[in-house]
Amino acid sequence: MADAVAAARRAYERVWSKMSGRDRGKYLFRIARLVQERARELAVAESLDNGKPIKESRDVDVPLVAAWFFYYAGWADKLDHAGLGADPRALGVAGQVIPWNFPLLMLAWKIAPALAAGNTVVLKPAETTPLTALLFAEILQQAELPAGVVNIVTGAGETGAALVAADVDKVAFTGSTGVGRAIAKQVAGTQKKVTLELGGKAANIVFDDAPIDQAIEGIVNGIFFNQGHVCCAGSRLLVQESIHDEVVDRLKQRLSTLRLGDPLDKNTDIGAINSAAQLARIRELSDVGVAEGAERWSAPCELPAEGFWFAPTIFTGVETSHRIAREEVFGPVLSVLSFRTPQEAIAKANNTPYGLSAGIWSDKGSRILAVADQLRAGVIWANTFNRFDPASPFGGYKESGYGREGGRHGLGAYLAPAASRSARAARAVEASAAPAAKTRPAAKADAEAKPAPAKRSRRTSKSAEKGAAK
């Protein structure tokens, strides 16, 4: 880890911070094109590593990865026009830790804005899903990115802790609330900037005037996408009392059509649970739900004999005090609650320590806006769910973390205005004058300046000509 951070520091000081935004943008653009060229390979690796259906990694994850790099490639030479303060400049070295549920997409969410802003990166993927991060390292070499600008270090929790403790200027973490809380304590009192994107227990609110057919599909996508391994999953379904039974019946009919099985089968809707530990957690909370008095229904899926599998499950008769309504299951488990009035729906939706996301389903725009204004959630979808775009900021508050990723707000997380930069420079001068100042460990190889790519790869596919999907 020390060598990786030292290499990133040298690359920042000697190469990346001295390069024009226009040239940095060319590298990001080339990376996006190469992601498109290797899309099939990346999609297969992501499904093998994570367990998600190939149609999700192929049609959602990988296109969004390319879109993120295309988007921030366009920002690299326009930082002065992003509305992020006077003469914004890079922080330096960013330490980034990503989770196992969207390994490649979370990598793009973090690396793309960091590089566009002029930072260098040390990234640690989750220990159970490192494959696409390693393939991405090959793409960086293929793009001829200068050595040391991005460093990928695999390992378990202690590796991530070492990165947070290292000589980095920025820490970006996506993962559990418990680990995020520990990171916040660890960096308190330091000059490191922090972005934390943590857990969630999102409410998906369906009013009696909602477009029911559309809502059913949105509910399914909101909780069963990626086997429910989504921090912003709509794991609490709040249905107005007058349509509760109809929605539950139609939801059961829809879930009965879902196909569970081999993630590499293009017809699969529900893939494998990522690990034995996660499967045990899902089973434990499901058993607790039954013990607390909720009624459990599971889709009639035939589970494969080997591997980690869990059928899509609905709990009805759930109370706000039940653990399955309060704790993040992080699996294909939906808790259904009812409400009579909008104020009751708002109260139940806000009755959680989390504040990451929410959904509202109604034909009345005025009702959607009025309810959204009172929900304590960072991201709110209207008549849809789990929609992402690189231009749109994403993040929560309360125990769901702080800071934003995506859009120009995501750039701001990796930039410092002139005043902040001057104060940091003054502290650096004081530190260098101290007699016991420590030198950074030497890396194996210095970062060498390379000219920005003048030509795109000859292997660029026709689909790349059209830009990023979605």
Output the pLDDT for position 83: 84
Residues 381/385/386/391 CA torsion (nearest 10 deg)? -40
Same domain, 83 and 185: yes
Tokens of 275: 């690990």
Same domain, 24 and 139: yes
Question: Which domain range does residue 317 map to?
Answer: 203-385
Helix ranges restricted to H, 418-457: 418-433
Strands 93-97 and 120-124: parallel
Per-residue confidence band for 90, with pLDDT thresholds at 50, 70 and 90 = very high
Same domain, 339 and 442: no
- CATH code, 192: 3.40.605.10
Q: Which residues in 232-373 belong to E strands, given as ranges? A: 236-240, 295-298, 313-316, 333-339, 357-361
Output the pLDDT for position 422: 52
Output the pLDDT for position 434: 52
Domain boundary among 385, 419, 444: 385
Helix ranges restricted to H, 38-173: 39-50, 54-56, 62-75, 103-116, 131-142, 157-165
Output the pLDDT for position 62: 99
Same domain, 379 and 257: yes
Q: Please say if 197 is a catalytic residue.
A: yes
Same domain, 145 and 47: yes
pLDDT > 50? residue 463: no
Same domain, 192 and 212: no
- How far is the C-alpha of 277 from the C-alpha of 225, rounded, in Å? 20
Output the pLDDT for position 429: 56
Output the pLDDT for position 87: 84
Output the pLDDT for position 427: 54
- How far is the C-alpha of 346 from the C-alpha of 325, rounded, in Å? 15
Same domain, 335 and 365: yes
Same domain, 60 and 147: yes
Catalytic entry in 46, 197, 328, 399:
197
Over residues 306-332, mean pLDDT? 97
- Sequence-distant (6+) residues with CB within 8 A of 61 are 43, 46, 52, 102, 104, 105
Same domain, 245 and 302: yes
Q: Is residue 364 part of a domain?
A: yes
Same domain, 94 and 154: yes
Let me know the angle formed at the C-alpha of 389 by 384 and 390, rounded to the nearest 5 degrees: 160
Number of domains comprising the chain: 2
Q: Encode pLDDT of 2-34 as tens digits.
A: 999 999 999 999 999 999 999 999 999 999 999
Q: Is residue 395 part of a domain?
A: no
In the β-sheet with 170-174, what is the strand arrangement from edge to edge? 150-152, 120-124, 93-97, 170-174, 193-197, 401-402
pLDDT > 90? residue 315: yes
Q: Is residue 354 part of a domain?
A: yes
Per-residue confidence band for 248, with pLDDT thresholds at 50, 70 and 90 = very high
Let me know the angle formed at the C-alpha of 426 by 424 and 428, rounded to the nearest 5 degrees: 70
Higher pLDDT, 85 or 361: 361
Domain boundary among 323, 353, 385: 385
Contact 329, 281 (CB under 8 A): yes
Q: Encode pLDDT of 397-436 as tens digits.
A: 899 999 999 999 999 999 997 655 555 555 555 555 554 4
To the nearest whole number, what is the mean pLDDT of the chain?
A: 91
Same domain, 291 and 159: no
Q: Encode pLDDT of 54-72 as tens digits.
A: 999 999 999 999 999 999 9
pLDDT > 90? residue 460: no
Q: Is residue 325 part of a domain?
A: yes
- How far is the C-alpha of 275 from the C-alpha of 283, rounded, in Å? 12
Over residues 316-343, mean pLDDT? 98
Helix axes 342-350, 365-372, angle to 10 degrees: 40
Contact 350, 375 (CB under 8 A): yes
Torsional class of 38: left (φ above 0), alpha (ψ -120 to 50), beta (otherwise):
alpha
- How far is the C-alpha of 220 from the C-alpha of 138, rounded, in Å? 36
Q: Is residue 265 part of a domain?
A: yes
DSSP per-residue letters across 234-247: --EEEEEGGGHHHH
Over residues 180-185, mean pLDDT? 95
State which amino acid sits at residue 164: V
Output the pLDDT for position 437: 43
- How far is the C-alpha of 350 from the C-alpha of 416, rounded, in Å? 33
pLDDT > 60? residue 469: no
pLDDT > 80? residue 385: yes
Strands 379-382 and 357-361: parallel
Tokens of 445: 């190889």
Over residues 330-358, mean pLDDT? 98
Least confident of 228-237, 344-353, 445-454: 445-454
- How far is the C-alpha of 73 from the C-alpha of 284, rounded, in Å? 44
Q: Name the DSSP class of 292.
A: T
- How far is the C-alpha of 13 from the C-alpha of 58, rounded, in Å? 37
pLDDT > 80? residue 123: yes
- CATH code, 211: 3.40.309.10
Q: Encode pLDDT of 97-120 as tens digits.
A: 999 999 999 999 999 999 999 999
Output the pLDDT for position 417: 74
Over residues 317-344, mean pLDDT? 98
Q: Is residue 394 part of a domain?
A: no
pTM of the model: 0.88
Residue with tokens 């296109």: 63
Output the pLDDT for position 85: 79
* 93: β partners: 120
* 238: β partners: 205, 337
Per-residue confidence band for 86, with pLDDT thresholds at 50, 70 and 90 = confident
Domain boundary among 385, 411, 427: 385
Residues 262/268/270/276 CA torsion (nearest 10 deg)? 10
Over residues 292-308, mean pLDDT? 96
Q: Is residue 392 part of a domain?
A: no
- How far is the C-alpha of 199 from the C-alpha of 179, rounded, in Å? 10
Per-residue confidence band for 335, with pLDDT thresholds at 50, 70 and 90 = very high
Tokens of 319: 């109370």
- How far is the C-alpha of 155 from the C-alpha of 128, rounded, in Å? 9
Q: Is residue 390 part of a domain?
A: no
Same domain, 176 and 91: yes
Output the pLDDT for position 285: 98
